[in-house]
Structure 1
Amino acid sequence: GPLIVTAKGAARPDGRAADVDQDVVVLFQAINEQASPMVWPNAKDPLLATASFKKMTVNGYTWCTQPPISLVQGQRVRWHLASVGTEDSLHSFHWHGNTLQYQGHNVDNWDLMGSGTASLDMQPDEPGSWLLHCHVNFHLNNGMAVTYNVLPSSPPLPPPVMTGVTRTYYIAAEEVTWDYAPSGGQMCSGEVEPFDEDAAVFLGPPEGIRIGSNYTKAQFFEYTDANFSTRVERGPEEAYLGLVGPLLRATVGDTIVVVFLNRIRYYASLHPHGVRYDKRNEGSPYNDGQGDTKQDDYVVPRGGNYTYTWLVTERAGPGPADPSSKLWMYHSHVHEASDTYSGMFGGILITRRGAAQNAAAGGNTSVLPLTKPADVDQEVVLFFSVINEAGSLYTFDNVRQYLDQSLWTTSELYDTLLKNASFEESSLKHAVNGFMFCNMPRISFVAGSRVRLHIMVLGSVEDMHTPSIGGGTFLSLGERGASVATIAGSMMSQDVMFTQPGNFSVQCRVLDHVMAGMQALYTVLPAPSGQLAVAGAASVQRVYYIAAEQVSWNFAPQGYVQCTSTDQLGSALTYITKTFQSIGSTRLKAQYRRYTDASFSQLSPQPSSHGLPGPLVAAEVGDIITVVLLNRLLFNVTFTPDGGLVTLGDTVHGAVVEPGQNLTYSWVVPQQVC
């Protein structure tokens, strides 16, 4: 259960925070009843014996059956969130209708892993019955949702005063044939190459149960006016956006009006994150007391249109700790998982009041004010997702078009196909902006330029991504690093400093994902002279002699009772005991090991607790790091540091060292990495 602690001197007599009107505790939990000690008593009930053992719950309830959570408009509410469970307990809490603040960041979703907790503040603005759900598709599809009610205040709060301009967008949902690899091959070498064995699983030509790289999908497109006859074409600088829908831009104080036309064969809608809307402009059908879900929740049938109005209030913009612009998503929310797997999603970019380019320069009052922030040179939006084509609205259409009819002519055959493990695997498209294996049109940056990278993620439990860049670093939540952590439902805006000219990849560092194609290429052009720090004559040079060697590594040198001095569960034996079916706890590994000099004859002292990781490489800004790498293994290796270090001399980023050879790398640590 929950334990809430209040800062000393900040509590009421009952121990609760004095600056909060209401505390709400929400626990998202994927409960595995099969692991419960009560499983056998429950299984005696013949009805329960055949039921699913997995329960996707909110405070122990599924499918919005929890007694209602009631709040009051304008009230100070603190939401206390928790996630309990195992590796599938990756949850993205998403509130419809209202935004929250966490340590100065404006959010309408929050990510937690198993055993994670967080406390966020909300002042509800918009009355109504609103959905709170997990944005992970598998959890939402199986009932991890609840509603919360916001009652009107007494007296009612006045409507927001919008002091900006009205920005009207004309968006249509249309069916397209999408190619995840339009080059016809993989391009991560910089050239088109035939699909290798890994890539062919997902993108090879239709064969057997594999559809390949082409799929019927739904995509959002922008038009010039309400006639929907002239499409707004993307320029070369936006070609990389691919499957991502039009970017809707505004500044705080503006009103966004979207005239939406549905040209696909299914119902569709536009549901926004972050901005303020009432029930007529939510675009999401559920039992919220508003009547018929198709008519009153403003989803749009084929050939229909609807005009959504969204307000960019202060809470919809960047918070005090956010950068000057931030990303929200919008997507169809009729059948959320299927709609987004089909391709119906896009981004909303909101700039802080007074922070746009022409606001800083005085502006031109004869046209709509610009929205791009003045403190960055370039904004880029990247969408990471394992797009499950087996969960799309168009799954059957694609099967019927590309696969032999012997696989789908009856419902039994079609169900068998959907459960086929090879079909399931080939349907998972590990994509960046809808492209795989570096087929995304290449983006160009300039070393030292100010770049804001907006990242959004949709999908299910497998969508745990760590977007990573070479040749630069992220500045996210006040910390600088080479990657950021995201899950399905994540929206992140962070500044990037590219310090190293060259060709690099942006990729998900989850090994299975990058091997399955979740990477794209970009180019960093050289900086103007003097824009980046370089090594001077007084720089300290730190030299490391490192060998890549084969070692015999024991994962459990003290045996399997070391943690508690008692026998563990029998499952521990699987991992560390050598039997006729298992290798045991000792394996051959490759390890970086540091030596004292270029003779590579004497190991440098290393704390025994350091274990398997390679030696610590430490330096100060301005230092030169030199690594002499000797390869004593039987395969090629490389030494590639994160952190935006700048190569020196003839050092080539990612240069390979062959067996028995050595290579010297040198980098300078620029000021921009800290």
Structure 2
Amino acid sequence: MSPQDQKKDDAVFPGGNYTYTWTVPEDHSPTADDPNCLTWIYHSHIDAPKDIASGLIGPLLTCKKGILTGTSQRRQDVDIDFFLMFSVVDENLSWYLDENIASFCTDPGSVDKDDEEFQESNKMHAINGYVFGNLPEMTMCAGDYVAWHLFGMGNEIDVHTAYFHGEMLIIRGHRTDVASLFPATFVTADMIPSNPGRWLLSCQVNDHIQAGMGALYEVRPCSRQAPRSTLKGRVRKYYIAAKEVQWDYGPSGLDQSSGKQLSEAGSPAEQFFKRSHYQIGGIYWKAKYVEYTDETFREEKKQSEEEKHLGILGPVIKAEVGDTILVVFVNKASWPFSIQPHGVSYGLSQNGVSVQPLHNFTYHWTVPQHVGPTPSDPPCLTWMYSSAVDPVKDTSSGLVGPMVICKPGTLDDSNKQKGIDKEFYLLFSVFDENLSWYLNANIKYYLRMEETSVKKDNGFKESNRMHAINGFMFGNLPGLDVCEGDNVSWHLLGLGTEADVHGAVFQGNTLQMNGMRRDSTNLFPHTFATAFMQPDNKGIFEIYCQTSNHYRAGMRERYSVSKCSKRDPAPVLRYKGVRTYYVMAEEVEWDYAPDRRWERERHNHSAESYSNVFLSNENGLLGSKYKKAVYREYTDGTFQTPKARINGDEHLGILGPFMWAEVGDILNIVFKNNASRPYSIHAHGVLERETGQPQAANPGDIVTYRWEVPERSGPGPNDSACVPWIYYSVVDPVKDMYSGLIGPLKICRKGVLQSDGIRKDVKREFALLFLVFDENQSWYLEENVERYSHGNHRDINLPDDTFVESNKMHAINGKLYANLPGLTMFQGDWVNWYLLGMGQEIDVHTVHFHAETFTYKNGKGYRADVVDLFPGTFEMVEMLAGNPGTWLLHCHVSDHIHAGMEILFKVLPKPEPALEVVNYSEETPPEDESQKVMLFGAKLAPGQVEATVIILAVSGMVLFLVASFLLGVVIYLEKQRRLRRNRRSILDDGFKLMSKKNQGI
């Protein structure tokens, strides 16, 4: 096929046509653990964000053999399929924006396309292109087998939690009633509806609820019998009231990490805790769910020491499969409130019934078998309940609590989980007090002023966004104390807006989730996780949100691990292997996009390239070059010889060396700081014996870090053979990382790796970091302004929006617009991809591999071509390269595509077996004549002598064998000749005898 023919499908012009041929080979088919049909999409890809915003997108299914019937292509295994796209359709990106303005605006000439309110009005929070319940109603029968094919598409704000009110789903073997969707995330969910009625299907992200991202589906009581379970368990009764309280986000008055006052000038906490004419401070009027002892609601139930950590959360509601839950609710607050649960069954008459102030209502919920944990789930599932009269304002006011639903026989008589020593419940949420019912009351009470004069001030709004865990900030959450060796269950919840993208990290110890090893998990509004920990590392450690702006804003607490006398000492692990790395921090000039040819060819559809704001160094912008600090590996402790990046390691780009270890190893990191400010190295996953932050190395210092790799640092029972981690400098975790100090680490099962660190069963391994490097937060910002700005650098306005945006480099391993080299493999190679996510709220990345699929572990093995990454997410996927060509690998978030978060990987055709060819360098070093030896009258080097002798010996042996063979042949032929002569002599004698007898006759 000619290059011209290969280009025909790249762009089909108006009036033209092209027939696409797509195949579904075996290595693209659903795995044994996948559902029978997988959800995918198709869309136009000339300028993907603009094409999709214009409407060109649709669903695609690929199914296992035998699932589709004949030419009708109907599925045999389900009764009905539904296809739903959750997307904030940005009409500002549409190719038809100007036409739409001309057609639908009453005064087209007055429209300012850059006006923020105009742009916001064109962001349509839609399900299949409909808002506010206008999607044609989806109807099914109770007992039907229903397949939901869900996908997200769009931009950074397209963080969606699709909540199916009234029914339950199975997704990848796990029970849920929500599905997390992001741009180019595809989910196949199975449902057998059992609850007749018209139910809401909505995105539970606060902004999206308000903007109308909801639809209705109806379950009809048809002839088929819906699944029913006999309830033979306990009736569990709870007495809960909504009560108004003054809530203190920082009751100690201190940042427990630094020891500074929360209101100290210049501290990160000052913005939220300082009291002034335009700042409320850290205490707010809120509503809280409070448990009472009985139906009189006179006496509050006293919290135990183990419940002190609940903070703003309501009481824990627990039940087992087969139980009935009765919640007697009294509203002692000033606004109508309710209690609406996830994870249980209830009828329409019980669906978030609103209770007026000073009134009560009894909610009746059941826990039949079909809402309980599946065999693939942990013994108890984490859920949440909240007020839903106004889902946004009610939860922002504080009305939220945890709920746990367990398998039968899991809870003991005191309602505690058997086999678990400690249970903790943590809600990660940015409580936006601007959205609370009590905002006006807080302004009047604390600021002594009328509310209207301050509510529009941006500084005031930001000061009211409290980045909290259970309603506490900056280490003020009490009661997170465990013993070494305890079995600890962490129940984690998310709530809030599209900014509530949380990477919940547990420093110092690791977690196990669905049989997989982690030290973090991602949380979004109305999502939940259950994690198990058996701490082996004594000390005080942080639990924090990895999202960097949340970390800075105080979303970090502390838990302690103590040596307790109640347990026998843990067996001492004997470490067998010691691996040493010599790593230097050095300052370099880094170019994010040294070659712009690919970018100019691909992104040339508009008058001004999307890349100009990031790569141009005109009009007060800095361009693509920045001073940065990087980790680089050296051959030994003299730090004289850098270790060359060869054999594919070029792909690491800005990353430090790809470190590796097996379970049972010790890693010694000899670190020299050759930069101009203090730095360090800290790793996720490994066991660092130092309590608190690792020692910082001042400029010129050498520090050795010791990382132990016990069993809990390696793969869990349901993991692949290796798990990815990450390391970076933590003197200032945010500024150090954005300055460039970050690198990959993998830990593997014992015996999995070769001596060079590559897995024995794979051919290639690549580590990719998806991170928007925010150069505005780098230690070197001022130096970069002085060095790379044209003209007078003092004229640059650092807070200017365009300047700030120009310094956010949407990079893969520190490169933009296909500038990353080294991603090459052969057809038929098994390839491991270690994919790493860090950063802040905008770092929502959906990593899409064109033309190839991969398998990944989530308890079992599943097929996909997109990986979701968030701050603190480290994933490993396995690919069998099967499609020769040069293919795109990119983040599918619209803004990130335009901003250059794209690279290329190359699959070469499977090589033919070839003779070994030895190439001699033209620049051979001069030979040392004194070392040569005389042999047969010629001077030869020692190596040549050895080779000559070997060749002669081998040749002599071959000649001897040939001669022996020939001699044997000669002897054999001689014997045969003699045998024939003897036979002939015998025959002659026989004929003579016969002749004599005849003569006698």
The answer for the alignment partner of 2:312 in structure 1 is: 243
d(CA) in 2 for partners of 1:595, 1:157: 66
Secondary structure of the residue aligned to 2:502 is coil
- Point out where structure 1 has 5 or more consecutive residues left out of the alignment: 284-297, 359-368, 409-413
Moved more, 494-503 or 220-229: 494-503
2:461 is equivalent to residue 392 of structure 1: no
Offset of residue 208 of structure 1: 2.7
Secondary structure of the residue aligned to 1:656 is coil
Written as runs of structure 1 = structure 2, the 5 A alignment for 1:522-541 is 522-526=559-563, 528=567, 530-531=569-570, 533-536=572-575, 539-541=576-578
Asked whether the equivalents of residues 27 and 81 of structure 1 are also in contact (C-alpha less than 8 Å), the reply is yes
Asked whether the equivalents of residues 83 and 113 of structure 1 are also in contact (C-alpha less than 8 Å), the reply is yes
The answer for the alignment partner of 1:672 in structure 2 is: 712
Q: Give the letter for the 1:570 counterpart.
A: S
How has the CA–CA distance of structure 1 residues 560 and 534 changed in structure 2, closer, same or farther, with 3 Å as cutoff? farther
Offset of residue 62 of structure 1: 0.8
d(CA) in 2 for partners of 1:100, 1:139: 22
Q: Give the letter for the 1:43 counterpart.
A: I
2:379 is equivalent to residue 319 of structure 1: no
Written as runs of structure 1 = structure 2, the 5 A alignment for 1:162-201 is 162-189=231-258, 195=264, 197-201=266-270
d(CA) in 2 for partners of 1:342, 1:220: 11
Q: Give the letter for the 1:575 counterpart.
A: F
For residue 581 of structure 2, the aligned residue among 525, 535, 544 is 544
Offset of residue 53 of structure 1: 0.9
The answer for the alignment partner of 1:20 in structure 2 is: 78
For residue 629 of structure 2, the aligned residue among 590, 597, 600 is 590
How has the CA–CA distance of structure 1 residues 572 and 531 changed in structure 2, closer, same or farther, with 3 Å as cutoff? same
The answer for the alignment partner of 2:682 in structure 1 is: 640
Written as runs of structure 1 = structure 2, the 5 A alignment for 1:576-655 is 576-606=615-645, 607-647=649-689, 653-655=693-695
Offset of residue 551 of structure 1: 1.4
- For residues 60-114 of structure 1, give each alpha carbon's deviation from its aligned partner in whole angstroms, at most 9, with x where no partner exists: 1111121111111111111110111111111000011011011221000011111
For residue 281 of structure 2, the aligned residue among 187, 205, 212 is 212
Asked whether the equivalents of residues 219 and 243 of structure 1 are also in contact (C-alpha less than 8 Å), the reply is yes
How has the CA–CA distance of structure 1 residues 532 and 152 changed in structure 2, closer, same or farther, with 3 Å as cutoff? farther
The answer for the alignment partner of 2:230 in structure 1 is: 161
2:218 is equivalent to residue 135 of structure 1: no
Secondary structure of the residue aligned to 1:40 is helix
How has the CA–CA distance of structure 1 residues 75 and 90 changed in structure 2, closer, same or farther, with 3 Å as cutoff? same
The answer for the alignment partner of 2:545 in structure 1 is: 508
Offset of residue 671 of structure 1: 0.9
Offset of residue 48 of structure 1: 9.0
Q: Give the letter for the 2:59 counterpart.
A: P
For residue 340 of structure 2, the aligned residue among 248, 257, 271 is 271
Moved more, 94-103 or 189-198: 189-198
How has the CA–CA distance of structure 1 residues 450 and 526 changed in structure 2, closer, same or farther, with 3 Å as cutoff? same
d(CA) in 1 for partners of 2:454, 2:602: 49
Secondary structure of the residue aligned to 2:683 is coil
d(CA) in 1 for partners of 2:338, 2:493: 19
How has the CA–CA distance of structure 1 residues 48 and 397 changed in structure 2, closer, same or farther, with 3 Å as cutoff? farther
d(CA) in 2 for partners of 1:467, 1:211: 28
- For residues 295-319 of structure 1, give each alpha carbon's deviation from its aligned partner in whole angstroms, at most 9, with x where no partner exists: xxx2100000000011012233222
Asked whether the equivalents of residues 582 and 639 of structure 2 are also in contact (C-alpha less than 8 Å), the reply is yes
How has the CA–CA distance of structure 1 residues 155 and 80 changed in structure 2, closer, same or farther, with 3 Å as cutoff? closer
Offset of residue 567 of structure 1: 4.5
Offset of residue 40 of structure 1: 1.6
d(CA) in 1 for partners of 2:148, 2:77: 13
d(CA) in 1 for partners of 2:249, 2:235: 36
The answer for the alignment partner of 1:417 in structure 2 is: 454
Secondary structure of the residue aligned to 2:92 is helix
For residue 37 of structure 1, the aligned residue among 91, 95, 109 is 95
Secondary structure of the residue aligned to 1:239 is helix
Asked whether the equivalents of residues 688 and 708 of structure 2 are also in contact (C-alpha less than 8 Å), the reply is yes
Offset of residue 580 of structure 1: 4.3
d(CA) in 2 for partners of 1:445, 1:634: 40
Q: Give the letter for the 1:20 counterpart.
A: V
d(CA) in 1 for partners of 2:406, 2:553: 35
How has the CA–CA distance of structure 1 residues 497 and 639 changed in structure 2, closer, same or farther, with 3 Å as cutoff? farther
Higher RCO (C-alpha 8 Å, min separation 6): 1
Asked whether the equivalents of residues 185 and 195 of structure 1 are also in contact (C-alpha less than 8 Å), the reply is no
How has the CA–CA distance of structure 1 residues 670 and 204 changed in structure 2, closer, same or farther, with 3 Å as cutoff? same
RMSD: 2.1
- For residues 16-60 of structure 1, give each alpha carbon's deviation from its aligned partner in whole angstroms, at most 9, with x where no partner exists: 432211101111110111111221222122359687111111111
Structure 1 runs of 4+ aligned residues shifted over 4 Å read 47-51, 155-159, 190-194, 527-530, 562-569, 650-653
- For residues 132-172 of structure 1, give each alpha carbon's deviation from its aligned partner in whole angstroms, at most 9, with x where no partner exists: 10010001111000111110132654853101000000000
Asked whether the equivalents of residues 240 and 291 of structure 2 are also in contact (C-alpha less than 8 Å), the reply is yes
d(CA) in 2 for partners of 1:435, 1:48: 50
Offset of residue 375 of structure 1: 3.6
Secondary structure of the residue aligned to 2:441 is helix
Secondary structure of the residue aligned to 2:409 is coil
d(CA) in 2 for partners of 1:83, 1:259: 38
Asked whether the equivalents of residues 95 and 131 of structure 1 are also in contact (C-alpha less than 8 Å), the reply is yes
d(CA) in 1 for partners of 2:238, 2:464: 33
2:609 is equivalent to residue 570 of structure 1: yes
Written as runs of structure 1 = structure 2, the 5 A alignment for 1:51-90 is 52-90=121-159
2:587 is equivalent to residue 558 of structure 1: no
Asked whether the equivalents of residues 596 and 602 of structure 1 are also in contact (C-alpha less than 8 Å), the reply is yes
Offset of residue 269 of structure 1: 0.4
d(CA) in 1 for partners of 2:587, 2:190: 52
d(CA) in 2 for partners of 1:41, 1:77: 40
Asked whether the equivalents of residues 442 and 520 of structure 1 are also in contact (C-alpha less than 8 Å), the reply is no
Offset of residue 242 of structure 1: 0.3
d(CA) in 1 for partners of 2:317, 2:234: 14
Asked whether the equivalents of residues 262 and 270 of structure 2 are also in contact (C-alpha less than 8 Å), the reply is no
- Point out where structure 2 has 5 or more consecutive residues left out of the alignment: 1-57, 112-117, 716-1001
Q: Give the letter for the 2:183 counterpart.
A: G
Identity of aligned residues (%): 34
Q: Give the letter for the 1:602 counterpart.
A: T
2:540 is equivalent to residue 481 of structure 1: no
Q: Give the letter for the 1:8 counterpart.
A: K
Offset of residue 609 of structure 1: 1.5
- For residues 607-632 of structure 1, give each alpha carbon's deviation from its aligned partner in whole angstroms, at most 9, with x where no partner exists: 22211111112111111111111122
Secondary structure of the residue aligned to 1:197 is coil
